[in-house]
Amino acid sequence: MALTISIDHKAADKVREFAELQNMDQFGLRVGVKGGGCSGLTYVLDIEEGPRDDDKIIEEHGVRVFVDKKSYVFLAGTVLEYDDGLNGKGFEFKNPNAKSTCGCGTSFSV
């Protein structure tokens, strides 16, 4: 298992698209987790101008990904994909640390 977080090409393109809609020149994708959701932890996705202190920064397909250190523990090895078909789910986390996920897929437990 790779101990990093990666983002696929489609997801990176979509992040850029959202940043353009918000007229952001400087941006990165905030990826994290927060407490809550049926299974205990919920994924967080946001577009931010820059990293915060102590963030881990990963760059792939021209997009910077910001992850706080505590979230990183639960996300190491995760691949962020984007599924855009008619039945697509949008952004999708493939997280090898998740032992179970709730019905809607946004919440997981480790």
Partner 1 sequence: MHDTLITAPTYIYVPEPSYGLLEIHGPDAEDLLHRLSTNDIMQLDVGGSITTVFANPKGRIIDRVRIAKTHHAIYLYTSPDAAPIIKKWLDSYTFMEDVTVIDITEKKQTLEVMGARADDILNKLNAIHEISPNEYNQFHGMTPNETRSFPLCDSIQENTLVITRTDDPIYPCYLVQVQSSYVDKFLAAELPNTQWLSPSERDALRIYAGIPKAPNEINLKTNPLEIGLRTDISFNKGCYIGQEVILRLDTYKKVKRHLVKVSLGAGTTPLVGSDIVIKGSTLSSGRLTSIAEKIDGGFEGLALIKSGVRDYDQDFEIHQPGVKLQTYLYPIETSK
Burial of 51 per CB tally in 10 Å (0-12, 13-18, 19+): middle
Residue among 2 and 104 whose Cβ is closer to partner 1: 104
Helix (H) / strand (E) element for 31: namely strand 28-35
Cβ 109 to partner 1 shortest distance, Å: 5
Asked if 28 touches partner 1 (CB under 8 A), the answer is: no
Cβ 77 to partner 1 shortest distance, Å: 18
Q: Which stretch binds partner 1 (CB under 8 A): 3-11, 19-27, 67-75, 89-97?
A: 67-75
Asked if 65 touches partner 1 (CB under 8 A), the answer is: no
Please give the full DSSP string across 65-107, using - where no structure is assigned.
EEE-HHHHHHHTT-EEEEE-STT--EEEEE-TT-SEE-TTSSE
Binding site for partner 1 (CB under 8 A): 32-42, 44, 52, 68, 70-71, 100, 102-103, 106-107, 109
